[in-house]
Amino acid sequence: MLRYVLASVNSATSYFAPAGSSKELIPTCGPHTVPLIGPTAPPRPDGHDDARYETINDVLRRADLYEVLAITSKAADDPVALRRAYLARSRRCHPDKYPENDKSTIAFQKVSMAYTILSQPAMRRAYDANPSMADDLFTSQRSADDTFDGVLQMLFSDFMSGDFEIIRLVLKTMKEVNPSLGMEDETIDGVIAGFRKLREVVLGTRTYIRVLRHELLHLYDIQYSLRQLPYLAVNARLRLTLRFTRVALSLPMAIDRAIEAEEAEKQRKRAAHAAATGIQDGSAQVGKRSSILGSKLGGVVNFLVVALEKSESVL
């Protein structure tokens, strides 16, 4: 069991960080000190300076781009560490999380600006040579949300390029431990095939990346938690490995729900058009996007997600 757990966790933690990477993100002061979005406003007595907004206020106070991302210049040489720093900061000041705080949008845009410049070698070299040119360097037409979704798409690509066969391993183990599940190898192969189809859909367009925001960030959190555990914390590692598999299995289910919602909306519009014009649209099935799992396999995966959740609860 110990060998299985440690092997499983080792695979899971390889999704988002390369093996052997030991760089950690630590807040530090960099060599540059220039304003980016004007002077910092004084504290306001409206509740926008309480502990919940610590990251927002810290980002707005910083002028140095490395400090904005809370990463050292040396650590920023590692693209994975830089991406991890960006995700950590952007999530703590995302406007969707703090819609009541108008400063969150400015902070989120500032974090996006810092990541965009520091993640591109030419722009980073120009910034390091002349920090005062930061605003001039940032000429991207992409919104901060587009940057955020782009990083999530890279996370998904890393997951699919990594040893996601851990899903097959966990499912096979469930089959062996509990034969009453009635899970056949054909079902497991179908799930893996579904993930390959998922890769084509998600990496082919960003249409669905926002659908997976919650799940991908949850996977990121689990991976980080696994890295923090003591090496021999067997039960905790097993529990998080099961959780990782459960959340991973929810990815194609989330896309299927989005596809179903799209088709339902199309049907509603066609019905409304027909009612208004008296003309029936004969192209109801034309261009219909097929689901990732299909109804039968989707039902099996949903059952497996519930089973994994119960398994977590007893550990």
pLDDT bin (cut points 50, 70, 90) of residue 282 is low
pLDDT in tens, 152-190: 888 888 777 765 677 888 888 888 887 877 778 888 888
DSSP string, 111-156: HHHHHHHHTSHHHHHHHHH-GGGHHHH------HHHHHHHHHHHHH
- Cα separation, 81 vs 95, in Å, equals 23
Q: Which residues contact 44 (CB under 8 A, 6 or more apart)?
A: none
Question: Contact 98/57 with Cβ under 8 angstroms?
Answer: no
Instruction: Give the Cβ contact number of residue 190 at 10 Å.
Output: 16
Instruction: Give the Cβ contact number of residue 91 at 10 Å.
Output: 17
- Cα separation, 24 vs 133, in Å, equals 28
- What is the maximum span of the chain, computed from C-alpha positions, in angstroms? 69
**Domain-by-domain residue ranges, the chain?**
21-149, 164-313
Query: Tokens standing for 175?
Result: 């089959």
- The superfamily CATH assigns to domain 21-149 is DnaJ domain (1.10.287.110)
Question: Contact 56/89 with Cβ under 8 angstroms?
Answer: no
What pLDDT was estimated at residue 103? 92
Between 92 and 7, residue with greater pLDDT = 92
The highest-confidence range among 158-167, 233-242, 258-267, by mean pLDDT, is 233-242
